[in-house]
């Protein structure tokens, strides 16, 4: 009887020979000074550029002025990470050369053969960190908007509904930036609904914070499977999983409420399906891709998928295969993309005259792309530094070596497509006129981040590199990054969220009925604290302040008998009897 085909990954595993384990204790070639020098120089240069950008930005800051959140986070977090990254690389070279621990012999091969315990432990750790580090709290409006929408979906509604008189105090953004509000009190997310749909069952269970850790575990699994499919070495899958888990960009995004972890997973699923371009698999790839288009906006998947679409079109029978792929995109793109734009157009604006779908699409196109200016180029340079510093030390350099090698070698064509997806994402976001604002690492690149550990694994397991000194150095780097790098980032994230939430008086945390007025002209990004149930069913309302006298008058009319019980510079808390 013919072996059963795996519908996601084909039948590659059926013909793969049993793994052969090569001990890390086997003879290792002498260290290559140029390779180690490049690794140390790369890490040191990233630290130098980090501090140079810090000096350039601070030079233009007026005394007492508040930095934009993107630069605030960069200056707050990256210098320490740059110093730690350089220290990790130097320590790894010394350990690998003079103090090699025997416990690491064969570790990558064992991980490649049996990754389940590691993946389960990593997923559980991410879930705990989502509670302990991230406080189960959507920090930014980018994170709150899809959660707001998911909670509306969980109630069986396409939108939230609030009393119209509350609306001016409830939507803390310009119309259309994160939330759309109609004059009758209906409120809807401005983002496409894919990620909100993924969140919906978790929101219904009161566990929305659990989704991204589970997506993180699924990402480790898909990386392992893709490495087995793409790379011939038995240890390659272990490298790919380890380098992914050891990179703080992966871990922190997997404990947040951002949609970027979902973009990463769905793009890797898309690749897994198009690797074997049979019509049935291409239709499935299109369906996966269409959901990725609708996760929050279509740009991340579109940039990632372009090289793969071109590859399919240029192969023999490409027109037929491309048609099958595009056919798979149609149903969900129509429902979740076009349909959602139509729903938004019915609610868009705070006046009775809502924009139609055509006007809405034209407006989105105008703000989606523009020619880069000096400020954007500076922000993208900082983003590249973050891309380096939020990965395991040395990983980006090794991945670049792997990408260049794949482009030069015809047999690595599929790896070169991964590299091109990463390049397209970097190049495309040069024309997106935003500096990402909040976010951990270079989150605009995160949808293509899966290319990085796979290209690095390909380089580290290539025959001319596998027995050199470099894999030992990178193994120690990964282990230290898993402990120290991720630990540093978790501490940075938690301290920032703690400081953000501390802007509210302690009385606001009470489970009794409370109304909290937040002054958006005080504190730091205090408007992001204005987060409520889509139907205002919670015991606490957080509203925008219109001034103390206006707030007091509003409370007397809305809640007679209420009393002002606490206040600080940013917010005032009222108890509702």
DSSP 426-462: HHHGGGS-----S-SSSGGGGGGTTHHHHHHHHHHTS
Determine the pLDDT at residue 21: 35
Res 204: pLDDT: 96
What is the CA angle 254-456-468, rounded to 5? 135
- For position 535, what pLDDT does the model report? 95
Instruction: Give the pair of three-digit tokens for residue 497.
Output: 């969220």
Q: Is the four-CA dihedral 256, 258, 261, 266 of positive or negative sign? A: positive
Q: Is there a contact between 327 and 369 (Cβ–Cβ < 8 Å)? A: no
Tokens of 384: 């590249």
Beta carbons of 93 and 473 less than 8 angstroms apart: yes
As a whole number of angstroms, the distance between CA 543 and CA 548 comes to 13
Buried b (16+ CB within 10 A) or exposed e, 525-538: bbebbbbbbbebee
Phi, psi of 238 (to 5 degrees): -65, -45
Residue 522 phi, psi dihedral angles, 5° rounding: -125, 165
Looking at residue 516, the DSSP 8-state letter turns out to be: E
First to last CA, the chain: 73
Token pair belonging to 95: 């350990």
Measured between alpha carbons, how far is 335 from 341 in angstroms, rounded to an integer? Answer: 10
* DSSP code for 257: S
Residue 205, helix vs strand vs coil: coil
User: Whose CA is closest to 193, among 287, 295, 286, 263?
Assistant: 295
Q: Are 477 and 460 in contact (CB under 8 A)?
A: no
Structure tokens at 556: 């007397």
The answer to whether the CB of 212 falls within 8 A of the CB of 254 is yes
Question: For residue 518, what is the enclosing H or E element?
Answer: strand 514-518
In this structure, what token pair is assigned to residue 378? 């500076």
Is residue 470 classed as helix, strand or coil in its secondary structure? helix
Q: List, for the chain, all residue ranges whose pLDDT scores fall below the cut of 70.
A: 1-33, 62-64, 173-176, 348-370, 410-411
CA pseudo-torsion sign 265, 269, 274, 276: positive
Instruction: Report the distance separating Cα 21 and Cα 115, nearest Å.
Output: 15
Q: How far is CA 437 from the centre of its chain?
A: 13
DSSP 350: S
From 425, 430, 422, 426, select the one nearest 375 (Cα to Cα).
430
- Find, among 473, 570, 468, the residue nearest to 528 by Cα: 570
Our measurement of the distance from residue 344's CA atom to the centroid of its chain's CA atoms, rounded to an integer in Å, reads: 25
Centre a 10 Å sphere on the Cβ of residue 291 and count the other Cβ atoms it contains.
22
Helix/strand/coil for 495: helix
* pLDDT for position 11: 42
Residue 13's pLDDT is what?
41
- Report the run of H or E that residue 564 belongs to, with start and end: strand 563-567
User: Is the alpha carbon torsion for 436, 439, 441, 445 positive or negative?
Assistant: negative
Calpha distance 215→222 (Å, rounded): 10
């Amino acid at each position: 009887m013919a072996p059963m085909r795996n519908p996601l990954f084909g039948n590659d595993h059926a013909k793969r020979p049993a793994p052969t384990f090569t001990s890390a204790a086997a003879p290792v070639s002498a260290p290559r000074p140029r390779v180690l020098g490049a690794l140390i120089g790369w890490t040191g240069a990233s630290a130098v550029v980090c501090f140079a950008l810090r000096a350039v930005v601070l030079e233009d800051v007026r005394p007492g002025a508040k930095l934009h959140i993107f630069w605030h986070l960069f200056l707050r977090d990256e210098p320490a990470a740059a110093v730690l990254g350089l220290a990790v690389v130097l320590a790894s070279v010394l350990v690998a050369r003079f103090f090699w621990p025997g416990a690491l012999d064969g570790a990558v091969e064992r991980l490649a053969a049996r990754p389940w315990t590691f993946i389960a432990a990593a997923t559980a750790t991410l879930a705990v960190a989502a509670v302990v580090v991230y406080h189960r709290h959507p920090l930014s409006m980018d994170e709150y908007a899809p959660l707001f929408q998911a909670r509306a979906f969980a109630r069986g509604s396409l939108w939230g509904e609030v009393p119209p008189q509350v609306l001016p105090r409830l939507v803390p953004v310009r119309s259309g930036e994160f939330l759309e509000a109609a004059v009758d009190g209906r409120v809807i997310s401005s983002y496409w609904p894919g990620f909100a749909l993924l969140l919906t069952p978790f929101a219904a269970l009161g566990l929305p914070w659990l989704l991204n850790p589970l997506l993180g575990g699924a990402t480790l699994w898909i990386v392992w499977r893709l490495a087995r499919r793409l790379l011939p070495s038995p240890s390659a899958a272990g490298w790919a999983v380890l380098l992914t888990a050891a990179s703080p960009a992966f871990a922190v995004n997997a404990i947040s409420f951002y949609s970027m972890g979902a973009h990463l997973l769905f793009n890797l699923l898309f690749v897994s399906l198009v690797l074997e371009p049979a019509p049935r698999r291409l239709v499935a790839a299109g369906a996966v891709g269409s959901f990725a288009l609708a996760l929050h906006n279509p740009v991340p998947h579109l940039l990632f998928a372009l090289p793969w679409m071109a590859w399919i079109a240029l192969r023999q029978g490409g027109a037929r295969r491309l048609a099958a792929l595009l056919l798979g995109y149609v149903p969900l793109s129509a429902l979740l993309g076009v349909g959602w734009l139509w729903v938004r157009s019915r609610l868009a604006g705070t006046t009775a005259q809502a924009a139609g779908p055509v006007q809405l699409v034209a407006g989105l196109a105008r703000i989606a792309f523009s020619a880069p200016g000096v400020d954007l180029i500076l922000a993208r340079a900082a983003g590249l530094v973050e891309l380096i510093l939020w990965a395991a030390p040395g990983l980006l350099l090794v991945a670049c070596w792997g990408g260049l090698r794949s482009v030069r070698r015809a047999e690595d064509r599929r790896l070169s497509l991964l590299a091109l997806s990463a390049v397209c994402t970097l190049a495309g976001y040069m024309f997106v006129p935003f500096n990402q604002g909040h976010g951990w690492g270079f989150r605009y690149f995160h949808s293509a981040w899966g290319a990085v550990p796979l290209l690095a694994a390909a380089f580290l397991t290539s025959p001319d590199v596998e027995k050199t000194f470099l894999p030992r150095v990178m193994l120690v780097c990964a282990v230290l990054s898993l402990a120290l790098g991720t630990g540093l980032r978790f501490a940075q994230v938690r301290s920032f969220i703690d400081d953000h939430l501390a802007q509210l008086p302690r009385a606001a945390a009470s489970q009794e009925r409370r109304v909290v007025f937040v002054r958006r002209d005080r504190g730091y990004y205090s408007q992001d604290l204005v987060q409520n149930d889509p139907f205002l069913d919670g015991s606490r309302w957080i509203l925008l302040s219109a001034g103390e006298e206006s707030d007091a008058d509003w409370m007397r009319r809305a809640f007679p008998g209420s009393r002002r019980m606490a206040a600080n510079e940013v917010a005032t808390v009222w108890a509702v009897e």
